[in-house]
Amino acid sequence: MSDIDIRTTGRAGRISLTRPKALNAMTYDMCMAIDTALRNWREDDAVDLIIFDAEGDKAFCAGGDIAELYETGTQGDFAYGQTFWCDEYRLNALIFEYPKPVVSFLQGFTMGGGVGIGCHGSHRIVGESSQIAMPECSIGLVPDVGGTLMLALAPGRLGEFLGTTGQRMGPADAILAGFADHFISQDQWPDLIEILEASGNADLITEHAVAPPTGDLVDLQTEIDDSFNGETLGDILTNLRGSDSEFAANTLAKLERNAPLSTACTVEMLHRLRGSSLTMRRALEMEYRFTFRAMQHGDFLEGIRAQIIDKDRNPRWQYADMTVPAVAVSKMLQPLGKDALTFEEE
């Protein structure tokens, strides 16, 4: 497959994304190829660890390839998207629960679907160019691919802030928020990969890790916690509108660009997930409730039209005044019954 290179080198199962001109956006076929490889290597004693990397300088993976999702959805075919998300989420759970070390090298943009394959392994490596984000609310979705697990576990109210604004995280911020583990200078990556292939020993990674350059979120933590401590999107907006700080003004501007229904549901999802019962599977099941309905009842198709297809950057969102009724949130997140996400292997 020209979009992805899957092979075994030394003691490592190697998965390289190879469509740099498309920022390594992940197609359904790529998703399923990764799934098959991981299931085969799981039982292979010759493979000690898995290594994910990608070609190009700009992105590890900037997200899922949503062109086909849009095309099928606008034709009234919601089943294709539902199948895509279902199988993608099963892959995310497989990576998170994998019995062998999974090492990912996350240069440039890692967003959306890229987070789903790159940020759930055991050793997540960032470098100077790394920019990690969950910008789904800007296209009428919610943070998904298991991203809500990390957002719910992030310190204080960073999860609500990152999930609703789509703020990009450099290496230090990604480590703070739980999306990455180690900062290693990118000029060392090729040699480190060779060492891992030869040894099969992921413990050697820590010998190369150093402290990342200072990030932004540490200094913003108190203001983020104060602003995002409400129970609903409405509470958060009230807090921000009542402040005259530069942070509040900038954050409001970001929120006002995104789909109100998506941002309101993101806040609710994190509040429901946060706590001792949080698991990856529970997070994915909650995300699937929204994405299953996103085309028919949410703003996903309109978001893609405005951002990707027509590029007019003028989406016509539901609840454009940002007053989202609680019942609208509840409808998007209610259980799916027989359509609920399951994780049984065929």
Distance separating the N- and C-terminal Cα atoms of the chain: 23
Q: Which of 65, 136, 160, 268 is catalytic?
A: 136
Q: What is the pTM of this model?
A: 0.96
Is position 187 annotated as part of the catalytic site? no
| Model pLDDT, residue 75 | 94
DSSP string, 104-145: EEE-BEEETHHHHHHSSSSEEEE-TT-EEE--GGGGT--S-T
Query: Which of 48, 53, 88, 144 is labelled catalytic?
Result: 144
pLDDT digits (tens, 9 = 90+) for 98-109: 999 999 999 999
Catalytic annotation on 136?
yes
How many domains, in total, are found in the chain? 1
In a domain, 234, yes or no: yes
Q: For the domain that residue 323 is a member of, what is the CATH number?
A: 3.90.226.10
Residue 67 has pLDDT above 90, yes or no: no
pLDDT averaged over every residue in the chain: 96
Which candidate in 13, 63, 64, 116 is catalytic? Answer: 64
Domain of 100 in residue numbering reads as 4-339
Averaged pLDDT for residues 115-131: 98
65-79, 162-176, 187-201, 281-295: segment of lowest average pLDDT: 65-79
Q: For residue 121, is pLDDT > 90? A: yes
**Do 181 and 172 form a contact (C-beta atoms < 8 A)?**
no
120-126: average pLDDT: 98
Domain presence at residue 345: no
Structural domain includes residue 80: yes
- Domain assignment present for residue 308? The answer is yes
Q: Residue 180: which of 108, 142, 134, 127 has the closest Cα?
A: 127
Catalytic residue among 13, 63, 113, 303: 113
Cβ distance 261 to 321 under 8 Å? no
Q: Among residues 145, 181, 175, which one has the least CA distance to residue 163?
A: 145
**What are 199-216's pLDDT values in tens digits?**
999 999 999 999 999 999
Stretch 246-273: mean pLDDT, rounded? 98
Burial class of residue 188 (count of CB atoms within 10 Å of its CB; 0-12, 13-18, 19+): middle
Residue 344 in any domain: the answer is: no
Phi, psi of 46 (to 5 degrees): -80, -10
Percent of the chain at pLDDT > 70 equals 99
Rounded distance between C-alpha atoms, residue 182 and residue 172, angstroms: 9
Amino acid in position 68: E
